[in-house]
């Protein structure tokens, strides 16, 4: 009986965690920002710096960055970081500001004109642009 439980426990844990891993990530923005799903990807690739006349201030969420860059940009974490290193040296662009988690991203976006970020739980005081 014991060997079966040792094999069954990891399977049960994986099933319990799977729904959480598949949960949506919401791209949120300060109330002055309106972007399409493709434009959001352009911002995080460093290809778009403005929404109309508003300077964009993207934020990365340390808790979900690997998941976001995979879903939104089709990259892994290493490729994303090297992409931004090249952008910094070649074009003088600054990578999205890294925030510690949902609460920090939500607070930054709510108080910063032009800010966008991504969170698991979207607050009420910001605009939801899209979800991944």
pLDDT at 87 over 90: yes
pLDDT at 15 over 90: no
String of b and e for 44-55 (b: at least 16 CB within 10 Å)? bbbebeebeebe
Q: Can you give the pLDDT at residue 18?
A: 47
Give the pair of three-digit tokens for residue 108.
């930054």
DSSP string, 22-64: T---EEEE-TT----HHHHHHHHTTS--EETTEEPEEEEETTT
Average pLDDT for the chain: 89
Order of strands across the sheet that contains 26-29? 97-99, 57-61, 115-119, 26-29, 127-131
* pLDDT tens digits, 95-108: 999 999 999 999 99
CA nearest to 121, candidates 30, 49, 24, 10? 24
Q: Can you give the pLDDT at residue 33?
A: 97
pTM, rounded to two decimals: 0.82
pLDDT at 7 over 90: no
* pLDDT tens digits, 41-83: 999 999 999 999 999 999 999 999 999 999 999 999 999 999 9
CATH class of the domain whose range is 24-131: alpha beta
Percent of the chain with pLDDT over 90: 82
pLDDT at 5 over 90: no
Judge whether 5 and 11 are in contact, CB under 8 Å. Answer: no
């Amino acid at each position: 009986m014991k060997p079966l439980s040792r094999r069954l426990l990891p399977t049960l844990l994986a099933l319990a965690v799977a729904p959480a891993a598949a949960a949506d990530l919401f791209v949120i923005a300060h109330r002055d920002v309106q972007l399409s799903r493709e434009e959001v990807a352009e911002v995080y690739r460093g290809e778009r710096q403005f929404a109309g006349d508003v300077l964009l201030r993207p934020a990365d969420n340390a808790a979900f960055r690997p998941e976001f860059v995979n879903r939104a940009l089709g990259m892994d974490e290493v490729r994303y970081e090297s992409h931004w290193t090249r952008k910094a040296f070649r074009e003088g662009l600054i990578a999205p500001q890294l925030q510690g988690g949902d609460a920090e991203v939500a607070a930054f976006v709510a108080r910063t004109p032009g800010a966008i970020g991504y969170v698991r739980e979207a607050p009420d005081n910001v605009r939801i642009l899209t979800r991944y």
